Amino acid sequence: MNPNEPSKENTTGILRLFVYGTLKRGYWNHDRFCRGALHVQEAVVRGRLYEMPSGIPVLEVPETDILAHGTADPLADVATQARLAAEFAARAAHPDPGENGAPGGRWGPVYGELLTFDDPETRLPAIDRLKGFLPGGLCLYERVLVPAGIERGMFPAWLYHGGARQWHAMRYLPTGIWMD
C-alpha cells in the first residue's frame, strides 16, 4: 500500500484487525498499511506478549481462543468473521479476555487497537506480506481470528500471532503492552 494513494473504496466486506505493535497508531507501519481505517478503538485480547531480540513484538494466544485460521482468500476470511460476529451478537455470554489458568503460565490481557476497514481484498494481502503470513507455507506469523474486547462488547478480530515459537528466547512483557 502506498501512503500517497487514496484508500480504495470497497463495500464487499468489513475487516476487523487487532494490532498490538508496529501497526498501531504512532508506529512506523501504521501510515503505510493502516491509513484509511474506518474506525480505530482501544481493544484487548487474551494472550501473552513478548518482544524478540530485534525489538519487534510477538503475541501468543491460547489455542482455545482461536476461532478460525486465515486463508489466501480475503473475502472468505471476512465472511467467516461476519458469520462469527453474528453468532457473538446472538449469544448472551461472550468470551472473557481476562486471565485464566493455562499450561506454561497464565494468559492475561494484551492491549492494542481494533482497526476496522472496508477494503479487505487490498488490505489483507498487503499486511499478510508484511507479517510473512503465507497460508499453507512457512510463516513468520500466523493470522488467526480471536475474540477481541472493546468498550461495548466482544467482536471476532483477525490478528497475527507467533504460532509455535521458542518463547523462552524472547522477553516476556507482563503489562500486555508493547512500547509501554
**Hey, what domains does the chain have and what are their CATH numbers?**
15-172 (3.10.490.10)
Model confidence at 132: pLDDT above 70: yes
Kindly indicate the confidence band of residue 164, based on its pLDDT and cuts at 50, 70 and 90. Answer: low
Section 24-28 average pLDDT:
90
Model confidence at 173: pLDDT above 80: yes
Q: Beta strand pairing status for 39-51 and 171-172?
A: antiparallel
Model confidence at 111: pLDDT above 80: yes
Lowest mean pLDDT across 7-11, 54-58, 124-128 = 7-11
DSSP 35-81: TT-SEEEEEEEEEEEEE-TTS-EEEE--GGG--EE--S-HHHHHHHH
Q: What is the pLDDT of residue 29?
A: 86
Kindly indicate the confidence band of residue 170, based on its pLDDT and cuts at 50, 70 and 90. Answer: confident
Lowest mean pLDDT across 67-81, 102-116, 119-133, 135-149 = 102-116
Model confidence at 102: pLDDT above 70: no
With beta carbons less than 8 A apart as the criterion, state whether 145 and 80 touch.
yes
CA nearest neighbour of 118 among 42, 43, 38: 38
